[in-house]
Amino acid sequence: MNYALYLGRRLALGSQGRKASPGVKVATAAIALSVAVMIASIAIVLGFKREITDKVLGFTSHIVMTVNPNEEDNIITLTPTLKKLLDSQETIKDYSLQISIPTILKTPNDFKGVFLKTLDDKATRDFLKANLVSGCIPDYSQDSARLEVVLSRMAASQLGLKQDDKVDCYFINDEVKVRRIKIAGIYDSHFDAYDDLMVYGSRGLAETFTGLKPNQGSSLLITTPDFNRLDEETDFLQKSLNAAVSEGLIYKSYYLENAHVQGASYFHWLSMLDTNVIVVLTLMMIVGCVTLVSGMLTIILDKKRFIGLIKSLGASNVKVRQVFIYLALRVAVLGMIIGNVLIISLLTVQDKLHVFKLDPSSYYIDFVPIEMDWMAFGILNLGVIIIVYMTLIFPSRIISKISPAETMRGE
């Protein structure tokens, strides 16, 4: 029986060296295509998640703290007590004050209402720099840049403005204040809902309009250590602030809103992509397995005489089935290697060169994003091997119905 099994394996290996049958070729191609599509789906969805999350956080932060609407004064004052409380929180990695005020940009022919936000924190500056289409981000450490702003391409187009143009900026409160500002840079994030409203300027300009002090702002931008635990950390921080108010440590109550809430529509869209990926993975796995099973049955029928021969030499049904499962797994592994090499090469090119473009009005970005998660790819390939092996067990049972006597008589 050992000799029969050895002979079976040698013949199986030898059959791979000859010209493969059409069924084997189709099975190899199907596995390669299925694995390639599954890897591409994972990489693209992870890329979308990274890009969309970065854009949402670019316009806001992990957590935005504002004064509770029930309070008469809606200004956050970073007192020593509040600062000490924030510094003691393990859920806070970094924070910074921001001023956000409604203003009106007016040209000789048109006007537009926008929100002027201070460009204080590094994260926002990096985000705007990554989405800048012309000009530069002003250096607000220089007094000469105090009246320079960064405007979106959408707003600039609506007002007929371009880089280095000047426009009047109005702030209306108890009195009307106006400053003539310069367009230092123009950005385009493809997030029309934000681009239509957001203008970024210096803190000095916002303080001139509002009269706020350096330790005051309309909101506090908070960065947490782990974005994946954002909801838990938001709840924990909210409870800490509420407890501090109850104990009289701080005199105002604050309201926290995280990026999941502020960008709810975008994150909901991303969750729908997760569902699409599950569907794609399921369909591709079914296609690959069905094609591979068909290929295995073709091999079994093609080697019917061979099966009868090694059975007559003493090989059991179980041992013969192992030979053909092994042969089919070789086909699957070959297809997986081909699929991995081709798709990873293509994804790498796309990640570096952005060859494939998208309509930003529909997808919020102008190229197909790629995130190379090697652990996810490894788990996927391991899962494919396991599922393929389990799928091959049942069709291999047909071998037990092949009689050595009948195959020999047929010959």
pLDDT per position in the chain (411 positions), as tens?
454 444 455 544 444 445 556 767 777 888 888 899 999 999 999 999 999 999 999 898 999 999 988 777 889 999 999 999 999 998 899 999 999 999 999 999 899 999 999 987 888 899 999 999 999 999 888 887 789 999 999 999 999 999 999 999 999 887 889 999 999 999 999 988 899 999 999 999 999 999 899 999 999 999 999 998 999 999 999 999 999 998 888 888 999 999 999 888 888 888 888 888 888 888 888 887 887 777 777 766 666 676 666 666 666 667 777 777 787 788 888 889 999 999 999 999 999 999 999 988 888 888 999 999 999 999 999 988 888 888 777 776 666 566 555 555 544
Cβ-count burial of 47 within 10 angstroms (0-12 exposed, 13-18 middle, 19+ buried)? buried
CB 370 within 8 A of CB 381: no
- Please name the residues in contact with 280: beta carbons below 8 A apart, sequence gap of 6 or more: 37, 38, 41
Rg of the chain taking only CA atoms, in angstroms? 32
| Residue 60 to residue 123: CA distance in whole angstroms | 10
CB 44 within 8 A of CB 358: no
CB 99 within 8 A of CB 171: no
State which amino acid sits at residue 398.
I
Given this model, what pLDDT does residue 311 score?
Answer: 65
Q: Produce one character per residue of 312-335: b if its CB has 16 or more CB atoms within 10 Å, e if not.
A: eeebeeebbbbbbbebbbbbbbbb
Phi, psi of 188 (to 5 degrees): -145, 105
Tokens 């681009």 correspond to 195
Q: Residue 170 forms beta bridges with which residues?
A: 104, 178
State which amino acid sits at residue 286.
I
